[in-house]
Amino acid sequence: MTAFRLLESINSPADLRRLDRKLLPQLANELRAFLIESVSQTGGHLSSNLGTVELSIALHSVFNTPEDRIVWDVGHQCYAHKVLTGRRQGMNRLRMQDGVSGFPKRSESPYDTFGVGHSSTSISAALGMALAAKQKGEDRKAIAIIGDGAMSAGMAFEALNNAGVADADMLVILNDNEMSISPPVGALNNILTRLTSSKTYNAARTAGRHMLGFAPPLLELARRAEEHVKGMIAPGTLFEEFGFHYYGPIDGHDLDALIPTLQNLRAIKGPKFLHVITKKGQGYKLAEADPILYHGVAKFAPEEGIKSGKSGGKLTYTQVFGDWLCDMAKADSRLVGITPAMREGSGLLRFSTEHPDRYYDVGIAEQHAVTFAAGLACEGLKPVVAIYSTFLQRAYDQLIHDVALQNLPVIFAVDRGGLVGADGPTHHGTFDLSFATCIPNMVVMAPSDEAECRRMLSTAYALDCPSLVRYPRGGGNGTLPGLDLDTLPLGKGEIRRQGKSVALLAFGSLLPAALAAGEAIDATVVNMRFVKPIDAELIAELAGNHSLLVSLEENAVIGGAGSEVERVLAERGLQVPVLRLGLPDHFIEHGEQGQLLAELGLDKDGIIASVRQALTRAAAS
């Protein structure tokens, strides 16, 4: 392990604030080296965290944390913040069970003022904190740090709109790491930002407004003149219109620019907006060259970098979807692919290059993505929305109101269904079967292997109604799909093993565990395939010759597929008991997928134990 002399002396922001400011660049170098070394051994988000090292140091140097509230947007850039707030020694168990979370988490530290994991929430949360401080008469600051990608979500602009009229004493920092809305940054911009954030400048501006207040037309003229002059040197006019005082852009890696500017802004009341430019992967040339590849990493050797190639050569569900999308696009020119800023994660990279005219990345805007798809469907196209389960939650109203209510044929390819592992409760896809099945007009499917996933996607595409195919993170059983576009019979399951007394009804990813358990206890095993329409005839048949039905799903047990099984039995007056096995009524923490499933009783041994307990209770009653 590399020696980090300065870093090891920092156990809290109070230690940081006592450090000679001349030493902060050395601290930044040590912190960046520590992150590279640490994340290479645990896996996690790398590029985004390397880009916020100086910003994290500057924030904790200037503001009195945790009394002053810092809210990170998304939170995948918070590792430096965690190290500086007393969690350095715990970083060797980052994202591991019972270890440090990969995102800010209120129960983990008082410095994590708001739990995050999804994007574009920081301004709303910080506004709430700022107005709470005002109402309680407390003199503390609220700071939101939001990336330029997260600014594409409507929620961020809703919060800006509210914050400006509320005259909240808060600071929004735009961490711009893509140069997408900014001119080049240089010494002139740094000087101008420090000037416009100074007490002298702001006192003059306040005095001028007071004097011109007696002549409203002159005040309006002066205000617009100021905005447009500033607009020639910085893209701040938009934020000024929201009621914020805009400052920047400024180099986010220059501590000599960052710290004085933040000190100036800390003394200014009201809503303020600071635009900083950072570079993803800063300080690690491989990550700088390919920040997307190094965004989320598994373990790797820093001196060698990430080796290309598929992990273990195993085909993933995401790759199955990406290949199917390209094949279906060749067969039908009506197909369009949509992603809310998850091209690589959702498997659309190949599609985006082969069919650029039919590929739409709408940015981090899940609500817009769904209603945009509805609009396309209204005009006879066949939109496929590729989205993570946990992100589809953000567009639930649009799913119901804009798609299902109008019975539009939008296909939802829902990735990361079930437990995702190290990213934890903000990213587990634990509710989709529950929240989709209750919506009228929806067809809901869950494949048990890769080949079945491809056929379900084709089935969904052939329907003239909304449909959802939900598949897990990673690979399945290694079942290689063919190149055909065959479909499945709608709403029909299949018996995979004939046994006695007990029937295991598996929905999706838990079929392998069900088959293994079925062999051990001689149970019938059914691959249900469809949650809606569920195979009611098959359930009734099983109820007629089994004494116990067991539903299995990697989804919340409340309102999930097991509830559908019980509904079918109740509607038909069948009195067979149902044991519903799934995810319990609490949020599942981060950890390795297999270990989490075992602890929740959803592996072979857990299923066997639950079935035997149920049979014992039945015999005793």
Q: Are residues 273 and 174 in the same domain?
A: yes
Confidence category of residue 482, pLDDT binned at 50, 70, 90? confident
Q: Is the model's pLDDT at 362 over the cut of 60?
A: yes
d(CA 613, CA 619): 10
The edge-to-edge listing of strands for the beta sheet with 359-361 is: 359-361, 335-339, 382-388, 411-415, 467-470, 443-445, 530-532
Q: Are residues 193 and 220 in the same domain?
A: yes
Of the candidates 343, 359, 342, 365, the one whose C-alpha atom is nearest the C-alpha of residue 151 is 365
Residue 488 lies in a domain: no
Mean pLDDT for 85-112 is 96
Q: Are residues 507 and 613 in the same domain?
A: yes
What is the phi-psi region of residue 411: left when phi exceeds 0, alpha when psi lies from -120 to 50, beta otherwise? beta
Residue 308 lies in a domain: no
Mean pLDDT for 461-472 is 98
d(CA 54, CA 24): 9
Residue range 561-615, pLDDT digits in tens: 999 999 999 999 999 999 999 999 999 999 999 999 999 999 999 999 999 999 9
Q: Where is average pLDDT lowest: 11-25, 216-230, 373-387? A: 216-230
Residue 394 known to be catalytic: yes
Q: How many domains does the chain have?
A: 3
Strands 245-251 vs 271-277: parallel, antiparallel or unpaired: parallel
Residue 394 DSSP label:
G
**Model pTM score:** 0.88
Of the residues 272, 297, 322, the one at which a domain ends: 297
The edge-to-edge listing of strands for the beta sheet with 142-147 is: 69-72, 142-147, 170-176, 271-277, 245-251
CATH of residue 181's domain is 3.40.50.970
Q: Are residues 523 and 447 in the same domain?
A: no
Mean pLDDT for 413-429 is 96
Residue range 544-562, pLDDT digits in tens: 999 999 999 999 999 999 9
Q: Are residues 63 and 209 in the same domain?
A: yes
Of the candidates 500, 493, 616, the one whose C-alpha atom is nearest the C-alpha of residue 564 is 493
User: Which residue's structure tokens are 């005002």?
Assistant: 134
Q: Are residues 283 and 326 in the same domain?
A: no
Q: Are residues 410 and 507 in the same domain?
A: no
Residue 77 lies in a domain: yes
Residue 346 lies in a domain: yes
Burial of 497 (0-12, 13-18, 19+ CB in 10 A): middle
* Sequence-ordered alpha helix ranges (H) in 280-355: 285-289, 317-331, 349-354
Contact between 434 and 555 under an 8 Å Cβ cutoff? The reply is: yes
- The parent domain of residue 610 ranges over 494-620
Mean pLDDT of the chain: 91
Residue 481 lies in a domain: no
CATH of residue 553's domain is 3.40.50.920
d(CA 193, CA 234): 10
Q: Are residues 250 and 220 in the same domain?
A: yes
Burial of 381 (0-12, 13-18, 19+ CB in 10 A): middle
3-state secondary structure of 256: helix
416-to-421, 432, 472, 555, 583 alpha-carbon distances in Å: 10, 10, 5, 11, 15
Residues 6+ apart with CB under 8 A from 291: 47, 177, 280, 281
Burial of 270 (0-12, 13-18, 19+ CB in 10 A): middle
Q: Is the model's pLDDT at 86 over the cut of 60?
A: yes
What is the phi-psi region of residue 179: left when phi exceeds 0, alpha when psi lies from -120 to 50, beta otherwise? left
User: Which residue among the candidates 82, 95, 280, 473 is catalytic per the annotation?
Assistant: 280
Contact between 299 and 42 under an 8 Å Cβ cutoff? The reply is: yes
Confidence category of residue 215, pLDDT binned at 50, 70, 90? low
Residue range 423-437, pLDDT digits in tens: 999 999 999 999 999
Residue 303 lies in a domain: no
Q: 252 or 222: which carries more pLDDT confidence?
A: 252
User: Which residue among the candidates 240, 366, 450, 553 is catalytic per the annotation?
Assistant: 366
User: Which residue among the candidates 140, 343, 394, 470 is catalytic per the annotation?
Assistant: 394
Residue 508 lies in a domain: yes
Of the residues 297, 323, 340, the one at which a domain ends: 297
Mean pLDDT for 499-523 is 97
Residue 142 lies in a domain: yes
d(CA 68, CA 86): 17
Residue 366 known to be catalytic: yes
